[in-house]
Amino acid sequence: MKSDLIDAVARTTSHRDRDELNAAVAKLLFDHLEPARVTVYRLLGDGDDRKVQRRVSLVAGGSQEGPAVGDPAALPRVTEMPHWHECVLLKDVAHFSPSSVADTGDRLCSVFPVFGERDVSGMVEIESSGRRACLKPHEVHLVNGVLRILHNHLAVLDYGERDQLTGLLNRRTFEASFGKLRERTRELARTTGSGSASWLAVLDVDRFKSINDSHGHLFGDEVLLLLARLMNDTFRIIDQVFRFGGEEFVVVIDGADESGAARAFERFRAKVELFRFPQVGRATISIGYTQINPDDIPASAVARADAALYYAKQNGRNRSDCHESLVRAGLIARKEERSEVELF
């Protein structure tokens, strides 16, 4: 039993992809505890406004449910379920009986916190029934031990996936996860049918070299750090923000049509324009953005956004421009598309 558990933990921590890791954790607990269901949740946002997003759920019989999809605004808050709120507030396991079941005498659920760098970043919910109507103390201890290993593994992953200055996702993470961006685009097209899509923006600090030359690299770094905080405060909790290097960043937003994407990026540009950076004062950004296509490769999407960014730089800076809109207006040429399959 112990050797099997050690082997299972070793297999689980071999995963680098977050979704694969969530699925592996659920399977490990399912195999060793034999419950009716194991569900892994991710917490999005801060405080009591945090939303709860299902990442994977395993049920008896071997069926598996994937992440919750749809409008992020429709996700439940952590405060909507007393057991979720208790788990996150006390940072400890919470036990409860499912209230939706008329006869709960043979069913009991336990929800465990998953810790991130500073706070609870997720939850694991285990539902038991029948002869496994509740977890035994040594099983609770086992779950907590597995989740501590998961926490340590996630800390290692974060170190490799995050930019050390800003804490944003790094370029290597973007390139490794681009396939998921395409999948989300296909899923949005299939489920919404309303023109919603994923959008990729490349943004750049205007005249950043002059900031470094005039004020020094220390204050230049402070501009980048504060800009990263503004991005985290402005974009939605489901949006992804990457630092590509230097003063260049990439933002990916989901579930928006072209006008919605334009409003999101223009809102951020205007927010930066009004912000006063210590010592430096006013700094502006230029943004180029494009829709992510189902068959895109990272280079093709970034190239289109870069073309729009170049247009913004050449036409006054401190503006946001859409590649598709510029092409329709005849202001730039359409970038040659490259398919997912490239020969050389």
Superfamily classification of domain 2-161: GAF domain (3.30.450.40)
Cα–Cα distance between 58 and 210 in angstroms, integer? Answer: 55
What is the band of 323 on the pLDDT scale with cuts at 50, 70, 90? very high
Q: Which of 41-50, 183-192, 195-204, 256-265 is the most confident on average?
A: 256-265
Within 8 A by CB and 6+ apart from 147, the residues are: 25, 112, 113, 114, 115, 124
Residues catalogued as catalytic:
247
pLDDT-wise least confident of 182-186, 193-197, 301-305, 320-324: 193-197
Contact at 8 Å (CB) between 31 and 18? no
Overall average pLDDT of the 234-262 stretch: 92
DSSP 333: P
- 63 versus 172: the higher-pLDDT residue is 172
Contact at 8 Å (CB) between 147 and 140? no
DSSP string, 122-159: EEEEEEEEGGG-S--HHHHHHHHHHHHHHHHHHHHHHH
- E strands, 32-106, are 37-44, 51-59, 64-65, 94-96
User: Given strand 107-115, what is the order of strands in its sheet?
Assistant: 64-65, 51-59, 37-44, 120-129, 107-115, 94-96
pLDDT of 322 strictly over 60 = yes
Overall average pLDDT of the 266-274 stretch: 97
What is the band of 69 on the pLDDT scale with cuts at 50, 70, 90? low
Cα–Cα distance between 12 and 20 in angstroms, integer? Answer: 9
pLDDT of res. 189? 65
The mean of the pLDDT values for the chain is: 87
pLDDT of res. 104? 47
User: For 163-257, where are the alpha helices, taking DSSP H only?
Assistant: 171-191, 208-215, 217-234
Cα–Cα distance between 38 and 165 in angstroms, integer? Answer: 37
| Burial of residue 196 (number of CB atoms within 10 Å: 0-12, 13-18, 19+) | middle
The residue extents of the domains of the chain are 2-161, 169-328
pLDDT of res. 102? 46
State which fold the 169-328 domain adopts. Answer: Alpha-Beta Plaits (3.30.70)
pLDDT of 190 strictly over 90 = no
pLDDT of 343 strictly over 70 = no
pLDDT of 130 strictly over 70 = no
